[in-house]
Amino acid sequence: MAVALDTPVTDFQAQATSGQTIELSALKGQQVVIYFYPKDSTPGCTTEGQGFRDHYPAFQAANTVVFGVSRDGMKSHENFKSKQQFPFELISDKDEAICQLFDVIKLKKLYGKEYLGVDRSTFLIDKDGVLRQEWRGVKVPGHVDAVLAAAQALHKP
DSSP, residue by residue, 25-55 = GGGTTSEEEEEE-S-TT-HHHHHHHHHHHHT
Residue range of the domain that includes 78: 13-154
Q: Which of 76, 63, 70 is nearest to 32 (CA)?
A: 63
d(CA 44, CA 38): 9
The pLDDT confidence band at residue 140, using thresholds 50, 70 and 90, is very high
Is residue 107 situated within a structural domain?
yes
Is residue 84 situated within a structural domain?
yes
Which residues belong to the active site?
45
Is residue 59 situated within a structural domain?
yes
Query: What CATH number corresponds to the domain at position 53?
Result: 3.40.30.10
Is residue 7 situated within a structural domain?
no
Provide the number of structural domains found in the chain.
Answer: 1
Is residue 124 situated within a structural domain?
yes
pLDDT digits (tens, 9 = 90+) for 62-99: 999 999 999 999 999 999 999 999 999 999 999 999 99
Is residue 102 situated within a structural domain?
yes
